[in-house]
Chain A
Amino acid sequence: MVWGWISYDPALNLIYHGTSNPGPWNGNQRPGDNKWSAAIIARDPDTGEMVWAFQPTPHDMWDYDAVNENILVDLPMSGGTRKALVHFDRNGFAYTIDRATGEVLLAQPFVPMNWSSGVDLKTGRPNVNVDKATAQGKNVKDICPSLEGGKNQQPAAFSPKTGLFYVPTNNLCMDFEGREVMYIAGTPYIGGNAPEKGGPGGYKGEFIAWDAVHGKKIWGIKEPFPVWSGALATAGNVVFYGTLDGWFKAVDATNGTVLYQFKVGSGIVGAPMTYTGPDGKQYVAVYAGIGGDMGLLIAGDVAANLPFDVRERGTTLPDLARYTSWGGMLFVFSL
């Protein structure tokens, strides 16, 4: 299934999109690579023809979709400038890819991970750690990252000023038990139980600056909860992001120093944006209103103020409801 972001390069006349994980989660019910699920695909927009495709996670067994955004930038790689596509996959690897050919130039972990020891750049295939391969009827413990991915669908930002990517990430792990499932139209086709937990180090998210030329983290700000907002990079060398506990932060793009933070009315899962108002002033706006996987599915009692749907706390984020409540507010800041 295709969902998420689509990027377009007018010079190459190619669009780029991701595809989701194969169903069901239980890999024993679907042998083979399951092409082209969990893939990045380049297409000719005039004909729809697939020009190239790359599968970060062949035969996905962990619910690692490849639907995260594909950011198109020209990067000074060794050997000259390359038309690159940079993609922070759910599987925990950051890929720098030649967007004309699909050649994988670089693949490095950007979050704690243990399901794979690395990517073979010749084939693009990950070396799977057999201890973390999931199977029907087997409960595999402590797989990192969790099915939310090292990063979920909240988009990263690129600053031409610093040449760095600013990436909201998760530090979550999971247990995974594959389960036989019947396909029944109108019902979820899941076939697995995958309770999530915090990853190593005692934090559950980190906002990082990433060098996609060398495949390394430059700085990071650890957060108690997964970082589930988009990122915004500005010409003033300031980057913005928000947290699930409702902090909106302005950060020095070069070194990660927090310059300003403001507690908004709810957890931030939207993307900050900036614009020039009719008065000629520059504004930064962010939507505050928790929801999605973190607010609705995982935390549990964040949803407890719905009168007909009260839930126990979830193990993954048991205290989130003590830091935020439901929202739906637009906050606008002037510079």
Chain B
Amino acid sequence: MHIPSFVQGMLVAAALGGAAAYAARQSPARQSPPQQGTQPTYFVEHPDHIQPGLARAGRFASLVNPFQGNAQRVAEGSKLFIAYNCMDCHGADGSGAMGPSLQDSRWHFGGTAGDIYQSIYEGRPDGMPAWGGRIADDQIWRLVAYVQTLSKGHDVATENFTGKTIARSGH
């Protein structure tokens, strides 16, 4: 597999920076819960959310993104979004294609950092692959940071997400 150079760079960074993210994932009990209210999320109930012995949001819910609000990591996440072929399902800038839109602030599986981390780490039904163990944890967090910047607000009309139409292609 040929890996573009900027991804190789991030893989090295991942090796160096992975420990903190690993610790964050291993000790959810000691982490602060996600800041509720600062970013409203709209959660659609779904039977796939039911997990034995766990609260609705699952065991990843209390994770905190070490890169929350870090513009450089968000920019790196936007490159990983293309390099790992996320764009080819979710559309350019997460505008929706074969996979769901990431711009509409409506979350099938939850929109907190921990929820999105879990969606990427474990995968989801109907096509979302599991990336956990295949890419470094801190790359997942870069993607989470990027994906969380895409939302346009749940009460914004579709015409006004960006104020223009989106160039899409079929297959």
Residues of A within 8 A of B (CB): 63, 146-148, 174-175, 179-190, 193-196, 292-294, 296-298, 300-301, 303-304, 307-316, 318
Q: Which 10 residue pairs spanning A and B have beta carbons closest together? A: A195-B167, A293-B170, A188-B88, A186-B129, A310-B104, A187-B85, A311-B96, A194-B169, A315-B165, A309-B100
Distance of A182 Cα from B1 Cα, bound (Å): 7
Q: Which of B82, B89, B96 has the most CB of A within 10 A?
A: B96
B-chain residues with CB within 8 Å of residue A189 when the two chains form the complex: 85
Can you name 9 extra interface pairs (CB under 8 A) apart from A182-B2, A310-B104, A312-B96? Answer: A147-B169, A190-B88, A195-B169, A297-B169, A300-B96, A300-B165, A310-B106, A311-B103, A312-B166
Known contacts A182-B85, A183-B1; decide if A310 and B168 are in contact (CB<8 Å). no
A-chain residues with CB within 8 Å of residue B98 when the two chains form the complex: 188, 296-297
Distance of A190 Cα from B161 Cα, bound (Å): 26
B62 interface residue per 8 A CB criterion: no
Residues of B112-171 at the interface with A, using a CB-CB cut-off of 8 Å, are 129, 158-159, 161-162, 164-171
Closest residue to B3 on the A side, CB-wise?
A: A182
Quick check: A174 and B169 within 8 Å, CB to CB? Answer: yes
A-chain residues with CB within 8 Å of residue B92 when the two chains form the complex: 193
Quick check: B168 and A180 within 8 Å, CB to CB? Answer: no
Distance of A84 Cα from B96 Cα, bound (Å): 42
Distance of A247 Cα from B96 Cα, bound (Å): 28
B11 interface residue per 8 A CB criterion: no
B78 interface residue per 8 A CB criterion: no
- CB<8 Å pairs between A and B, sample of 24: A182-B4, A184-B84, A187-B86, A187-B129, A188-B89, A189-B85, A190-B88, A194-B169, A196-B168, A297-B168, A297-B169, A298-B170, A307-B106, A308-B107, A310-B101, A311-B103, A311-B166, A312-B164, A313-B165, A314-B165, A314-B168, A315-B165, A315-B166, A318-B165
Closest residue to B129 on the A side, CB-wise?
A: A186
Known contacts A183-B1, A297-B98, A308-B44; decide if A316 and B104 are in contact (CB<8 Å). no
Closest residue to B91 on the A side, CB-wise?
A: A311
B-chain residues with CB within 8 Å of residue A185 when the two chains form the complex: 129
Distance of A309 Cα from B90 Cα, bound (Å): 11
Closest residue to A65 on the B side, CB-wise?
A: B171
Quick check: B166 and A314 within 8 Å, CB to CB? Answer: yes
B95 interface residue per 8 A CB criterion: yes
Closest residue to B152 on the A side, CB-wise?
A: A312
B83 interface residue per 8 A CB criterion: yes
Distance of A108 Cα from B82 Cα, bound (Å): 38
Distance of A186 Cα from B83 Cα, bound (Å): 14
Quick check: A309 and B101 within 8 Å, CB to CB? Answer: yes
